[in-house]
Structure 1
């Protein structure tokens, strides 16, 4: 019976000590990805599509949850995972196919999809993305750290080609549209 008592004590100590360790690790993909990489579209992005000489088609379109935009004449156009330049070519090709002889198309991001801040902040939620955003600025937008918030690194989740990657990043890490920042609770 004393063996079980020692084993139970040992298991409780391991569980207590493991809760003090900070989970997660630095993920090179998150640290290496920069804001200089071409921006790929995803659900929630609002686009301004201009077809020169065609005011009826030129308009703002939002990428829907399935990653598409719906345009007059050409219907549903896949946009998720494409850059704005790739989408321009796709729209022009579809318009050229029986609708407009030589379409000139321009696509620009009117409003980026939001980013999210969760965990130990004053006001968790989704927020509109702004250029030049860092983790530190994103936490400030969310009202700052709560009294229990760990002010070292945070967990950042980013989508890489349909795969979500989460890793530990410093507060000066650049934030991209659609990122989720999770502020952990400090131990003491």
Structure 2
């Protein structure tokens, strides 16, 4: 009898555990806000090779995290800061093509962010510096009548792992974030 009762309690606990909310990790988000921007798929970067107009151009970071430049072909820039990308391109050019290359890399266009849930026009939108959750929702046409208007979820990939956090509307977002506006109950 006691075993049956314990088994039933464990079964109920297991079933209710599936209904539990996601584990929100807001502390991880705070550490990424001040971190230097790292390049990713969907970014467009401007590469200037001083004295080499044929090599200077705007390049898109592809799905594999690479850009394709003349002479040196594919260069992996995924996960690098712009300074690290400069050094990587300089090293590749120095390897038999240019004697003393000087390279400058800057972000021309950031990868898009996404807005989902209870907004008028869910979708993908271009990122602009200074974006907050509130501005992102405004770009997506605003809240629907059922949208929860006090906070929203952000899903951000941190060290290759998607992490979810729930934040007030004035929280800054980063390129590649997914903002989800939840449905309100009343």
TM-score, normalised relative to structure 1: 0.86
RMSD after superposition: 2.1
Q: Report the counterpart of residue 31 of structure 1 in structure 2.
A: 30
Contact 1:26 1:169 in 2 (8 A): no
Q: Report the counterpart of residue 50 of structure 1 in structure 2.
A: 48
Query: 1:5-55, CA deviations, whole angstroms, 9 ceiling, x for partnerless residues?
Result: xxxxxx8xx98xx98x97653521123432x32100000000000101111
Q: Report the counterpart of residue 136 of structure 1 in structure 2.
A: 134
Query: 1:131-158, CA deviations, whole angstroms, 9 ceiling, x for partnerless residues?
Result: 1111011111111110010112111001
Distance 1:31-1:41 versus aligned 2 partners, 3 A rule: same
Matched, 1:90 2:119: no
Q: Distance in 2 between matches of 1:143 and 1:52?
A: 43
Question: For structure 1, which runs of at least 5 residues remain unmatched after alignment?
Answer: 1-10
Distance 1:23-1:76 versus aligned 2 partners, 3 A rule: closer
Contact 1:153 1:169 in 2 (8 A): yes
Q: Distance in 2 between matches of 1:26 and 1:103?
A: 43
Question: For structure 2, which runs of at least 5 residues remain unmatched after alignment?
Answer: 1-11
Distance 1:23-1:103 versus aligned 2 partners, 3 A rule: closer
Q: Report the counterpart of residue 157 of structure 1 in structure 2.
A: 155
Q: Report the counterpart of residue 127 of structure 1 in structure 2.
A: 125
Q: Distance in 1 between matches of 2:35 and 2:22?
A: 29
Q: Distance in 2 between matches of 1:49 and 1:100?
A: 15
Equivalent residues, number = 173
Tell me which moved more, 150-159 or 41-50: 150-159
Distance 1:161-1:37 versus aligned 2 partners, 3 A rule: same
